[in-house]
Structure 1
Amino acid sequence: MLLHAVGTAFARRPDTVAVAVSGGGDSMALLDLAIRAAAQQNQTVLAVTVDHGLRPEAADEARMVATFCAERGIHHDTLRWDGQADGNLMAAAREARYRLIAKWARDHDCAHVVLGHTQDDEAETFLMSLARGAGVNGLAGMDLFPTYGRVQWRRPLMSVSRAELREYLMRRNIGWVDDPTNDNDKYLRVRTRKLLPQLDAIGLNAGQISSSVHAMKMARSALEYYTIKEAEEHVVVTGGDVTLPRNFNRVMPVEIQRRLWVAILQWIGGGQYAPRTSALFELDTAILDGRNHTLNGCAIIVKDDKIHVTRELNAVHDLTCPTDEIWDRRWRLDGPHDPALTIAPVGELGIRQLDDWRAAGFSRASIISSPAIWDEKTLIAAPLAGFNDNWTAQIVAPWHPVAKHALNL
């Protein structure tokens, strides 16, 4: 069963599969299974370990994995994270891990990575989400088929317990290391992990929690389906903006409204996290009152029977970058690039240099927050305002009515 699960992780069997390996029991079992499955399927296996530089033992653990791979003719690399975290260290290290692995995979022409998460990990995530009052998305747990950094990720062992994988390793006479962090009660996941066995007393175990997670995943899919349907009926996308009928929410269920607003605000504002329910309530009140509003770096303009959502100028006022980079995480400008030029918003200074911006069909709020090419204080081009001068502007992340969640790998 284990070998089949790993061998069929991807619907279309890739030529090359990468395994993210920490040296712990779960990932070592996955690595061995991936090597065995690849031998049967004529695939190439690569392995990668990330040393976050947080523990002195991590380098030795990476060397252990490297030795294991070398003995089996598997290419292995160790990546090191030297970053700093201002807030949640574990979350920052986790995001860095996926970012580093994704880049490494692309550099090795590999678009498929398998991860060693188990049924126990899913149960722990569910309980942690429940403790913070998460809704359907949070309780649906980790995505089954995520794509991040232009790489497809899979978790073929999500129906397998941690204990089963330890038994597998012992049968195969394969060693592993236990990360001491996994016994540090400072971390909520560790405390949750230690709590799980006590829940058996009321008949609650990882398998049953996994069933609930599956039900939440189906509920999330249904909600996303109807959010897409409502978006198709009500949302009009022009350039980088969204327009809605002012009464779009009259017959729409509250949860679908919330999801649609989250998708719009995250697409335009670029935020990683959804706005709080209280903030969305304030937005709804403003719309009912006919007042303009700002939220999550977006300007929501109520006029006549329409709601217009665009980027808030204050959110991008000081945002500049070279012309060959992505501006505001969503705009790519192409034209006669020059190191002396920069991308910045049109702003008040730029709109005074535009003679006929109204002809472009965008509102003033849209124009002043849109990307422009500057030579110091001289406006060279403002593509959305119709002032092109051989420059074009393109959204790099197309609109989709299902919001991207915070890194949910």
Structure 2
Amino acid sequence: MSVKDASGDIVGRFQAAVGASRSEHDDTIGLAVSGGGDSIALMHLAARTRSPENLRVITIDHGLRPEARGEVALVASQAASLGISHTAVGWAWDGRGNLQAAAREGRWAAMRNWAAMHDLHEVWFGHTEDDQVETVLMRLARGSGVDGLTAMYPLTSRDELCILRPLLEVARADLRLWLKSEKIPWCDDPSNDDPRFDRVRARQMFAQLETLGMTRKRLLQTVDHMQAAHVSLQRAALAFAKQHVRQDAGDLLLSPDALDLEKADAPRRVMAAAFAWVGSSTYRPRFEQLLETVAQARKGATVTLGGCIMTPDKNGTVRLMREAAATASTQRSMDHADASGVFWDRRWFLEGPMQEGLIYKALGAGIKDCPKWRESGMPRTSLLASPSIWNGDALLAAPLAGLSNGWSARIVADFHSSAFAIED
């Protein structure tokens, strides 16, 4: 593509992708912009599609590289020149688990909270066709099945946020050519060439795979086939879940049919989704662990897996509850004047009379200070893992346990509407 052709072609393709997105929201759009070429292009293209006052930009500073401060400054400067509001949010790794996975979760948590504070329903990401190819290569190497090989969808949802990737059918090289033609600077992250990372190795391996016929076109065809299959399986699972799974606040009640994981895909898919939803986890449990846990529960045992407790209930059903010990406390600074609440344990949004220094955590032993907890109708074990608000050692509120004091707690996205959406 020539420099002359780049501008009109990229802008037209971007506008067509946005127009075909089936997005339900025409109000303010959030943009995730890191400072790299893909996201910088996203911001400038969005400014040609939406009025700047209807756009907001967020940049996450992981504090892992000295160049990050300059990247944040570049985004802030360009956003200001376009008349777009910009927010920079810091994130620090606690040293636990895999750094890349923790960074992904940290980015998402920051964006989700930011979107809620500003009443945003839709966020756009700058993933490109190259990202799609690299993703499917990595998942092929891991032996992924249908779900993994779907890679990324142009339009999906997560935690009640609509996610649009309007550049998913645009090659990275074409975007760079467009940026050069528009004289728009961007930052190159040196980690993008670091072979320690799977994505970089996948990118480097691709040139060799093309000689065997595993071309970009063939890989993208595989993604298309897998996405079609995945949609059918998800629809079947949703229909099964509506018939055999009932949500009770943050718990799930599963019928005997939902516990039969021997043959059909739908019960297996529903059970895995149930553990991920109750356990506030991005990842579903390993299939072998799932089979063993459910088998024990069918025999009448109370078992734990993935931060969840599964215990027998009435009429052959089982109740799946959050494990209080698997949750973590949150203490949020009042750095936003318009903040009305806080997310906790990934599923709950707590709203009430916020003040500096409050702690949000599982109720636990605080249930002794909730004299009306039995009136809730919820099992005691469920309430132990329910959200509560503390000022130091003093319990202020436990909305599900009958102690509200002006506070409320709601699930961000219920099981049936969120667990079987086209996943991010």
TM-score class, shorter-chain normalisation, is 0.7 to 0.9
- AA aligned to 2:416 is P
Q: Work out the CA distance in 2 between the residues paired with 1:389 and 1:347.
A: 17
Q: Work out the CA distance in 1 between the residues paired with 2:398 and 2:387.
A: 7
- AA aligned to 2:127 is H
Partner of 1:30: 42
The 5-angstrom pairing of residues 299-378 of structure 1 reads 299-302=309-312, 305-311=315-321, 315=325, 330=347, 345=363, 350=368, 357=374, 363=379, 365-366=381-382
The alpha carbon displacement at 1:194 in A equals: 0.7
The alpha carbon displacement at 1:195 in A equals: 0.8
Q: Are residues 114 and 240 of structure 1, via their aligned partners in 2, closer, same or farther at CA, if it must alter by over 3 Å?
A: closer
The alpha carbon displacement at 1:347 in A equals: 5.9
1:7 aligns with 2:22: no
Unaligned runs of 5+ in 1: none
Q: Are residues 220 and 170 of structure 1, via their aligned partners in 2, closer, same or farther at CA, if it must alter by over 3 Å?
A: same
Q: Are residues 195 and 309 of structure 1, via their aligned partners in 2, closer, same or farther at CA, if it must alter by over 3 Å?
A: same
Q: Are residues 76 and 241 of structure 1, via their aligned partners in 2, closer, same or farther at CA, if it must alter by over 3 Å?
A: closer
Counterpart among 226, 249, 258 of residue 216 in structure 1 = 226
Counterpart among 391, 415, 418 of residue 400 in structure 1 = 415
The alpha carbon displacement at 1:275 in A equals: 1.2
Percent sequence identity over matched residues? 34
Partner of 1:81: 90
Q: Larger deviation: 146-155 or 159-168?
A: 146-155
Q: Work out the CA distance in 2 between the residues paired with 1:57 and 1:373.
A: 38
Q: Work out the CA distance in 2 between the residues paired with 1:335 and 1:61.
A: 36
Q: Secondary structure at the match of 1:202?
A: coil
Q: Work out the CA distance in 2 between the residues paired with 1:372 and 1:173.
A: 52
Answer whether contact 1:122 1:142 (CA < 8 A) is retained. Answer: yes
Q: Are residues 7 and 18 of structure 1, via their aligned partners in 2, closer, same or farther at CA, if it must alter by over 3 Å?
A: farther
- AA aligned to 1:116 is G
- AA aligned to 1:396 is I
Q: Are residues 334 and 346 of structure 1, via their aligned partners in 2, closer, same or farther at CA, if it must alter by over 3 Å?
A: farther
Q: Work out the CA distance in 2 between the residues paired with 1:225 and 1:261.
A: 15
- AA aligned to 2:286 is R
The alpha carbon displacement at 1:95 in A equals: 3.4
Q: Larger deviation: 176-185 or 191-200?
A: 176-185
Partner of 1:278: 288
Answer whether contact 2:10 2:178 (CA < 8 A) is retained. Answer: no
- AA aligned to 1:55 is R
The alpha carbon displacement at 1:209 in A equals: 1.4
Q: Are residues 283 and 171 of structure 1, via their aligned partners in 2, closer, same or farther at CA, if it must alter by over 3 Å?
A: same
Q: Are residues 252 and 31 of structure 1, via their aligned partners in 2, closer, same or farther at CA, if it must alter by over 3 Å?
A: same
TM-score for the superposition, normalised by structure 2: 0.75
Partner of 2:269: 259
Q: Secondary structure at the match of 2:135?
A: helix
Q: Work out the CA distance in 2 between the residues paired with 1:327 and 1:69.
A: 31
Q: Larger deviation: 340-349 or 293-302?
A: 340-349
The alpha carbon displacement at 1:260 in A equals: 1.1
The alpha carbon displacement at 1:45 in A equals: 4.7
Answer whether contact 2:331 2:360 (CA < 8 A) is retained. Answer: yes
Q: Work out the CA distance in 2 between the residues paired with 1:381 and 1:390.
A: 6
Q: Work out the CA distance in 1 between the residues paired with 2:44 and 2:359.
A: 52
Deviations 1:326-384 (A, max 9, x none): 66555678899999999754669849x97994x86555654665568999999999876
CA RMSD of aligned residues (A): 4.4
Counterpart among 128, 152, 163 of residue 138 in structure 2 = 128
Q: How many residues align?
A: 400
Q: Work out the CA distance in 1 between the residues paired with 2:35 and 2:351.
A: 45
TM-score for the superposition, normalised by structure 1: 0.77
Partner of 1:200: 210
The 5-angstrom pairing of residues 145-160 of structure 1 reads 145-148=155-158, 151-160=161-170
Deviations 1:72-101 (A, max 9, x none): 543363625251242333333333334444
Q: Are residues 180 and 304 of structure 1, via their aligned partners in 2, closer, same or farther at CA, if it must alter by over 3 Å?
A: closer
Q: Are residues 51 and 398 of structure 1, via their aligned partners in 2, closer, same or farther at CA, if it must alter by over 3 Å?
A: closer
Q: Are residues 294 and 118 of structure 1, via their aligned partners in 2, closer, same or farther at CA, if it must alter by over 3 Å?
A: same
Q: Are residues 377 and 355 of structure 1, via their aligned partners in 2, closer, same or farther at CA, if it must alter by over 3 Å?
A: farther
Answer whether contact 2:244 2:257 (CA < 8 A) is retained. Answer: no
1:162 aligns with 2:162: no
Q: Work out the CA distance in 2 between the residues paired with 1:61 and 1:392.
A: 39
Q: Work out the CA distance in 1 between the residues paired with 2:392 and 2:239.
A: 45
- AA aligned to 2:150 is A
Q: Are residues 205 and 85 of structure 1, via their aligned partners in 2, closer, same or farther at CA, if it must alter by over 3 Å?
A: farther
